Amino acid sequence: MLFMGTIAATTAEADFSAKTIGQDARSPYMRVFGRSLPPIGHVSFCKEFPEECAGSATRDTKVKLTHARKKDLRTVNDAVNRMVHPVSDMSLYGRVEHWTYPNGKGDCEDYVLLKQRLLVERGWPANSLLITVVRDENNEGHAVLTVRTSMGDFLLDNKRADIRTWNDSPYTFVKRQSGRDPKVWVSLTRPSKRRAKPTAGTGTN
């Protein structure tokens, strides 16, 4: 069942906003804070599958969340979570990060890529389906699919069977694809006054 609410004004809300600086847990949509470097795994993926990374949108698309659209999300999320067995890139490919479509096995970004492709095949606009990098409960890199809808941003996650609003997650949000160009990534954390040295990507599991 889709969770359609937003977090109430509680201590949990304050904790959420403290983890991802600049985000408002009461908002149905994430804020973005300028461009960010893409994960190196996605750069390699776009070289291998350039047709999957072609962008021509002039703005983000928020899909009207009809009953049929909700069913699409549940069907695709359930199917991919069942069909893919979680295995690290190091075990499969002998490298820390390798983004590709899973063949029965894969890690979090592989789940996301397949969900993204299957939803596009069902008629969803690609620029409403944005790969998103977060830090999970253990402060480890993780990837989820953000779905931009008329009712807010929702997450498709290989760690969960249910589909939740972005602000009903335990994650710290790092970066995601731009809705205008899938090769461009944007930051989800407000930059601090003291700039940290940027990194090329964020390892995910």
CA angle, 96 then 159 then 109, to 5°: 35
Query: The pTM is what?
Result: 0.87
CA-to-CA distance for 194 and 197, rounded, in angstroms?
10
Q: Does residue 62 lie within any of the structural domains? A: yes
Would you place residue 2 in the very low, low, confident or very high pLDDT band (cuts 50, 70, 90)? low
Confidence label for 61 from pLDDT (cuts 50, 70 and 90): confident
Neighbours of 124 (CB within 10 A): 20
In this structure, are residues 21 and 190 in contact, taking their beta carbons and an 8 Å threshold? Answer: yes
CATH of the domain at 180: 3.10.620.30
Q: Is residue 167 part of a domain?
A: yes
- Is 1 among the domain residues? no
- Is residue 205 one of the residues assigned to a domain? no
- Are 36 and 175 in contact by the 8 Å Cβ rule? The answer is yes
Report the percentage of the chain scoring pLDDT > 70.
83
Count of alpha carbons within 13 angstroms of residue 174, beta-carbon side? 22
Please tell me the distance from the alpha carbon of residue 160 to that of residue 191, in angstroms, as a whole number.
Answer: 30
Number of domains in the chain: 1
Does 181 fall in a domain? yes
Q: Find out whether 9 and 17 touch, Cβ atoms under 8 Å.
A: no
Q: What is the pLDDT of residues 124-154, one digit of tens each?
A: 999 999 999 999 999 999 999 999 999 999 9
- Whether residue 57 lies inside any domain: the answer is yes
Q: What SS3 state is found at 106?
A: strand
Mind listing the pLDDT tens digit for each residue in 62-114? 999 999 999 999 999 999 999 999 999 999 998 889 999 999 999 999 999 99
Model confidence pLDDT, tens digit, residues 18-50: 678 889 989 999 999 999 999 999 999 999 999
Reply yes or no on whether the pLDDT at 11 is more than 50. no
* Domain that includes residue 177, residue range: 16-187
CA-based radius of gyration for the chain? 16
- Counted residue by residue, the chain has a size of 205
3-state DSSP assignment of residue 119: helix
Measured distance CA(187)–CA(37) in Å, rounded: 8
User: Residue 78 falls within a domain, yes or no?
Assistant: yes
Is 10 inside a domain boundary? no
Rounded CA-CA distance 119/75 in Å is 10
In angstroms, rounded to a whole number, what is the distance separating the alpha carbons of residues 198 and 202?
11
